[in-house]
Amino acid sequence: MPPLSVRNVSKSYEVGDEMMHVIGDLSLSLGQAEIVSIVGPSGCGKSTLLNVVSGIIPPGSGEIRWYGEPLSGVPARAGYMLQKDLLLPWRTAIQNVLLGLEIQGVQADAARDRAEIMLDRLGLYGFAASYPSTLSGGMRQRVALARTLVTDPEVMLLDEPFAALDFQSKLLIENDTATLVRAEKRSVLLITHDVEEAVSMSDRVIVLSQRPTRILRVYEIDIPGDRTDMMEARQSPHFTQYVRSIWNDLQSTARPVIKGLQ
């Protein structure tokens, strides 16, 4: 039973008197311990898709199943992470990591141990008592990642989580994410506009079309070697081919920026 399956989902919004079709007709599934990336031109409804899948907004039509069960409300075994770190400024780093465990009613000592271990694994040893306002963007996003991972989600829904980071911070946190996710056999649905990130992190890349969004192409990523090292992935000759091909797909679906030139 795949952790997540999406069948013929569509979604429209009413904008003024007109209906805007955001998601056309979309089907995909996310397997156990699989990392799947979704790339698409900007404004194609990637984030809407993630919000529909995670039960935050209802789909217009179609069916979403989590472990075979129809989606009702917010799925329990999913973790969620956005480009904004959404750290609570009144909580220290470790208190932010503890948030999910507190909500789930995990016993305080056990929760604290788990949070400390997770912060250590993400290289934040010694920053447990720091307030978010004193941390850099990369460190804040690491705290957010620790907060997501510490609740032990089987599926992680990531919406451009590393988009705001500089290249170096981004690669390091991608490595750590891939390491922790693959070691624990978690499934990941990663929404991104960064084609290189999609190819280097994923087992599968789904390319979406312009609105109303459909699946344009699906790539099974076959890169040999250590899949938790984003630099090593970039050295594979396949890597460049995937990136170029996905880039061409995106170009073919992109709307012309200046209409008069067409």
Partner 1 sequence: MTDVPSEGQLERSSLPRDARRARLRGRILARAAVFASQVGLLAGLLWLWESATANDRQTAFLFGSPSAIFGFLVQMWRDGSLFRDTYVTGVETLLGFLLGNVIGTSIGLSLWYSQSVARVVQPFIIALGSIPIIALAPIMIIWFGTGLMSKVAMATLSVVVVALVTSYKGALSVDPDKISLFRTLGATKRQIFQRLVIPSALTDIFAGLRLTVGFALIGAIIGEFMSSSEGLGHAIFKAGSLYNIPKVFAALVATIALALFLTWLVGQLERLLTPWRNAP
The two beta strands, 204-208 and 35-39, are: parallel
Cβ closest to partner 1, residue 19 vs residue 231: 231
> Which of these segments, 6-14, 22-30, 64-72, 129-137, binds partner 1 (CB under 8 A)?
129-137
* Residue list 164-203, contact with partner 1 (CB under 8 A): 172-173, 175-176
Binding mask 77-96 for partner 1 (x = CB under 8 A): -xxx-x-x-x-xxxxx----
Q: Which of 9, 23, 139, 221 binds partner 1 (CB under 8 A)?
A: 139
Closest approach, Cβ 223 to partner 1, in A, equals 20
Closest approach, Cβ 128 to partner 1, in A, equals 13
For position 134 contacting partner 1 by CB under 8 A, the verdict is yes
Cβ closest to partner 1, residue 142 vs residue 204: 142
Cβ closest to partner 1, residue 173 vs residue 207: 173
* Residue list 12-71, contact with partner 1 (CB under 8 A): 51, 54, 56
The residue ranges that bind partner 1 (CB under 8 A) are: 51, 54, 56, 74, 76, 78-80, 82, 84, 86, 88-92, 99-100, 102-104, 117, 120-127, 130-131, 133-134, 136, 138-139, 151, 172-173, 175-176
